[in-house]
Amino acid sequence: MTKKNPRSIAGLFKSPLHLCSFQATTRTLSTKTARSAQQSLYTEVQRLNPISSTRPRFLSRTPHARAITMVAENYEAVLKGKYPGKDHAKRVVDLIRKDVPDANGILYLESQVTRMMEDSDEPEPFRQRRYFYYLTGCNLPDCAFVYDIQSAKSTLFIPPINPDDVIWSGLPVSIDEALAQYDVDEVKLTTELNATLAHLGSENPKSSAFAIANQVSDHVSFIGFDNKNFNVLKTAIETSRVVKDEFEVAMLRKANYISGIGHRAVFARAKTAKNEQEFEAAFKERCYSYGVKKMSYDPIAAAGRAAATLHYVPNNAPLEGKLNLLMDAGGEWNNYAADITRTFPLSGKFTKESRHIYETVLKMQKECISVLKEGVVWDDVHLLAHKIAIDGLLEAGILKGDKDEILKARTSAAFLPHGLGHYLGMDTHDTGGNPNFGDKDKLFRYLRVRGTLPSGSVVTVEPGIYFCKFIIDPYLEDPVHSKFIDKDVLDKYWDVGGVRIEDNILITKTGSENLTDVPREADEMEALVSGS
- The dihedral region occupied by 78, where left means phi > 0, alpha psi between -120 and 50, and beta the remainder, is alpha
Q: Name residue 341's beta-bridge partners.
A: 328, 502
Q: How far apart are the first and last CA of the chain?
A: 46
* Percent of the chain with pLDDT strictly greater than 90: 84
Strands 186-189 and 153-158: parallel
Amino acid making up residue 153: K
Residue 40 has pLDDT above 60, yes or no: no
Residue 180 has pLDDT above 90, yes or no: yes
Return phi, psi of residue 33, to 5°: -65, -40
Mean pLDDT of the chain: 89
Q: Name residue 333's beta-bridge partners.
A: 336
Residue 17 has pLDDT above 80, yes or no: no
Mean pLDDT of 271-287: 98
Q: What is the pLDDT of residues 105-161, one digit of tens each?
A: 999 999 999 999 999 989 999 999 999 999 999 999 999 999 999 999 999 999 999
Lowest mean pLDDT among 5-19, 260-274, 356-370: 5-19
Residue 60 has pLDDT above 80, yes or no: no
The predicted structure's pLDDT at residue 73: 58
Mean pLDDT of 433-437: 95
The predicted structure's pLDDT at residue 32: 45
Q: What is the pLDDT of residues 66-92, one digit of tens each?
A: 333 334 558 999 999 999 999 999 999
Mean pLDDT of 39-54: 37
Residue 8 has pLDDT above 80, yes or no: no
CA distance 359 to 445: 26
The predicted structure's pLDDT at residue 7: 32
Lowest mean pLDDT among 59-63, 188-192, 328-332, 369-373: 59-63
CB atoms within 10 A of CB 101: 7
Q: What is the DSSP letter of 510?
A: S
C-alpha distances in angstroms, 140 versus 154, 220, 494? 17, 19, 48
Residue 6 has pLDDT above 80, yes or no: no
Rounded to 10°, the helix 246-269/69-79 angle is 150
The predicted structure's pLDDT at residue 25: 35
Q: What is the pLDDT of residues 301-345, one digit of tens each?
A: 999 999 999 999 999 999 999 999 999 999 999 999 999 999 999
The predicted structure's pLDDT at residue 205: 76
Residue 353 has pLDDT above 50, yes or no: yes
Q: Which of 252, 295, 260 is nearest to 507 (CA)?
A: 252
Q: Which of 341, 342, 308 is nearest to 322 (CA)?
A: 308
The predicted structure's pLDDT at residue 9: 32
Q: Which domains does the chain have, with CATH numbers?
A: 6-50+83-240 (3.40.350.10), 246-530 (3.90.230.10)
Residue 187 has pLDDT above 70, yes or no: yes
* Percent of the chain with pLDDT strictly greater than 70: 86
Q: Which tops the pLDDT comparison, 72 or 458?
A: 458
Mean pLDDT of 462-484: 99
The predicted structure's pLDDT at residue 19: 35
Half-sphere exposure of 466 (CA within 13 A, CB side): 27
> Do 190 and 142 meet the contact criterion of CB atoms below 8 Å apart?
yes
CA quadruple 301, 302, 304, 310: dihedral, nearest 10: -150
Of the pLDDT bands very low, low, confident and very high (cuts 50, 70, 90), residue 291 is: very high
CA distance 98 to 419: 31
Q: Which tops the pLDDT comparison, 61 or 43?
A: 43
CA distance 362 to 351: 16
Amino acid making up residue 296: S
Of the pLDDT bands very low, low, confident and very high (cuts 50, 70, 90), residue 23 is: very low
